[in-house]
Structure 1
Amino acid sequence: MDTKSVRADRYGIGELLGMARERAVPVLRAVPDEALGAATPCADYDVKALVNHLLQVVVEFQKLAAKGESDFATTPDRVGAGPDWRERFAEETDRLVAAWSAPGAEEGTAGAWQMPARLVGSMALLDLTVHVWDLARATGQEYREDDDVAEVVVEQLAGTVAELAPTARATGVFRDPVPVAEGASAFERLLGQTGRDPRWAPSA
């Protein structure tokens, strides 16, 4: 077996979420108010809607770590509720990491579909990675994708995307794969598999 293929398995989901959190919080803190109406690579969302969605993810997946039930029926407008949403995001991602680091969080199944708990936690990791890339691109920020942290996170997410893709595409969660350039990085290939163009840039 390729030793690289088991590298991500050495880490708990809580650890991986902690790595993603360190990327995510600075990006969210640097989103300017004037960019909230801007387009993102995630075509269904502008910046404000995507931040609200990501806040919903980090709150609801805390419940799933504790084997509770999540509620994605509606998305509260946490951005519109007040200017402290950036710090709220930082605090809630801290709680997300703690929830998935708790003993037993990765054991058994979680959620209404009774999916393996580690896969459920990896879904949160996927959102905390690709949506933060979306927000970085939409607001002109750099997103590091070429270091050891990104490599480990992408290693975990490649399997997650492959497992989820048939259902996710059928339900519209993922768009059709986007072809990427020959020699594309593992991160760019991951983005392409979720229906994102790694070369996306805001319109002039």
Structure 2
Amino acid sequence: MTKNISDLLRAAAERTVPVVRGVPDEKLPATTPCAEYDVRALAGHLFEVVVNFQRLAAKEDSAFGGGPDHLAEAAWRDAFAAECEALVTAWAVPGADQGTTGAMGMPAAVVGRMVLGDLTVHGWDLARATGQEYAPDPAVVDDLLDAFAELAPTARTMGAFGAEHPLPDGGAGASPFDRLLALTGRDPDWTRP
């Protein structure tokens, strides 16, 4: 049975929230697989995404780039967990994944997959950068592989994805998650410098 976006977001959040809770303060300046962000900037970006995509689920305007510094508070990790729960709730509202949403008038189902991808891929980014384990939910990965295969060309044009990372043997022996990471421009074998 296919899961709805809210169920998939819950599964992704259950894997990513522990990683965010496990980010030690001393690792905030560390490099991540997402080259333009260090750990602090990436955690702040992911926090902003989670907050703004709640608004998008409700067909409201988002406010990317103009919000507060979510990591300024001592309990930002707990606040992130609460916002993830609010995100799941927002996308569980009947009709949240129907119609269009956002300034670009994108299909709401696509927008829901965008935040699902951020929770999953950035969860891995943060885990790798801080020496934590990360194993995504297989149903989430399967859903994202299909959605991101369609989104990738536009995402690359917009700078959201890098060029697809080449996998050994054309990806024939790669796991679905490694293929997803490569699709977004990441090296699945990335390690902290």
Question: Mind listing any 5+ residue stretches in structure 2 that lack a counterpart?
Answer: none
Task: Verify: 1:167 aligned to 2:159, yes or no.
Answer: no
2:24 match: 32
Residue 165 of structure 1 deviates from its aligned partner by 1.1
After the TM superposition, which residues 188-199 of structure 1 pair with which residues of structure 2 at under 5 Å, given as runs? 188-199=178-189
> Could you tell me whether the CA contact under 8 Å between 1:52 and 1:76 is conserved in 2?
no
Identify the match of residue 84 of structure 1 among 65, 75, 81. Answer: 75
After the TM superposition, which residues 134-145 of structure 1 pair with which residues of structure 2 at under 5 Å, given as runs? 134-145=125-136
Q: Secondary structure at the match of 1:162?
A: helix
1:96 match: 87
Q: Secondary structure at the match of 2:168?
A: coil
1:4 match: none
Identify the match of residue 58 of structure 1 among 50, 53, 58. Answer: 50
> Could you tell me whether the CA contact under 8 Å between 1:192 and 1:198 is conserved in 2?
yes
Q: Distance in 1 between matches of 2:67 and 2:19?
A: 21
- Listed one character per residue, the Cα deviations across residues 2-43 of structure 1 (whole Å, up to 9, x for unaligned) are xxxxx5xx1110000000010011100000000000000000
Question: Mind listing any 5+ residue stretches in structure 1 that lack a counterpart?
Answer: 1-6
Residue 115 of structure 1 deviates from its aligned partner by 1.2
Residue 75 of structure 1 deviates from its aligned partner by 5.4
Q: Decide which moves more: 156-165 or 55-64.
A: 156-165
Residue 109 of structure 1 deviates from its aligned partner by 1.0
Q: Secondary structure at the match of 2:70?
A: coil
**Amino acid aligned to 1:161:** F
> Could you tell me whether the CA contact under 8 Å between 1:65 and 1:117 is conserved in 2?
yes
Identify the match of residue 176 of structure 1 among 135, 156, 163. Answer: 163
CA RMSD of aligned residues (A): 1.1
Q: Decide which moves more: 157-166 or 51-60.
A: 157-166
* TM-score, normalised via structure 2 length: 0.95
Q: Distance in 2 between matches of 1:201 and 1:119?
A: 31
Aligned length: 190
Taking only the aligned residue pairs, the percentage that are identical comes to: 56
1:3 match: none
Q: Distance in 2 between matches of 1:174 and 1:181?
A: 20
**Amino acid aligned to 1:124:** V
Task: Verify: 1:43 aligned to 2:29, yes or no.
Answer: no
Residue 73 of structure 1 deviates from its aligned partner by 3.3
Residue 156 of structure 1 deviates from its aligned partner by 1.0
Q: Decide which moves more: 117-126 or 69-78.
A: 69-78
Q: Distance in 2 between matches of 1:117 and 1:184?
A: 30
Q: Distance in 1 between matches of 2:120 and 2:178?
A: 12
Q: Distance in 2 between matches of 1:160 and 1:56?
A: 22
1:152 match: 139
Q: Distance in 2 between matches of 1:171 and 1:114?
A: 16
Task: Verify: 1:202 aligned to 2:192, yes or no.
Answer: yes
**Amino acid aligned to 1:177:** E
